[in-house]
Amino acid sequence: MAVASLQREPTPQYPSIKPGMMGMYIFLASEVMFFGSLFATYFYLVGSHPTWPPTPPASRPEYYVSWLGVPAANTVFLLSSGVTCHFALDALAHDNRRRFFILQIATIILGLVFELGQLYEFINAFNRGLNLTANTFASAFFTMTGFHGAHVLGGLILLILILYRAARGQFSSRNHVGPAAVTLYWHFVDVVWVFLFLILYVGITAGK
C-alpha cells in the first residue's frame, strides 16, 4: 500500500536585521526620546514667556547668537560630513578601501571642524555675557547644543575606531555592520543639528 508523502512548503526567507544594527536602532530610539524631551521643554519655555528670548541688556544689542557666520558654516560642515560618511560606507561595501579611507578621514576632519566652531561660538557667547545661568533661553541653548556637541564627540570617537579597525582589515563588503551602525548614528546627529539650527538660531535668535 503506497503511502503518500506530504511535502513541506518552502519557508519564506525574510531579510534579517543584524544584532549590531538592531542595537543601534534601539539606541537611537532612546536618543529620539531624549532630544524630544529637550525640544518639548524648550517649546514649553517659549510658550510660558511673554517675550522670547528674554529682553537682552540695553547696552548689549549683540547679546544673542545669530545664524550667520560660524553657525551657518558649521551646518555646512556637519551636513557635508554626513555625505562623506555615507559614501565612505558605500565604498567599503564595494571593497574600495582607498576611497573608504579618504572619505572616512574627510568625515572625521569635518566633524572636528564642527566641534571647534561650536567651541568658538560658546566662547563668544560667554564674552557677550550669555552663559548657562544668564536667563532661561541661555540655559536651554547651552543645554541643547552642549548635549548635541557631546553626541558629535562620541560619534567622532566611533568613526576613529572604525577607521582603526578598517586599517587592520577587519571590515569588508561582507562584514561591515559596525561601520553601517556608526554611519546611521552620524546621520542622526546631522538631523538633530538641523532642528537645533532652525529653532535656536534661525527661528528665534536671527537678527537679535
pTM: 0.86
Question: For residues 153 and 66, what is the distance between their CA atoms, to the nearest angstrom?
Answer: 23
The identity of residue 96, as a single letter, is: N
% of the chain surpassing 70 pLDDT: 87
- End-to-end CA separation in angstroms for the chain: 93
For the domain spanning 77-208, the CATH number is 1.20.120.80
pLDDT per residue, tens digit, the chain (208 aa), is 444 444 555 554 545 567 667 888 899 999 999 999 999 999 999 988 888 888 777 667 667 788 888 999 999 999 999 999 999 999 988 889 999 999 999 999 999 999 999 999 999 888 888 888 888 898 999 999 999 999 999 999 999 999 999 988 888 778 788 899 999 999 999 999 999 999 998 887 654 5
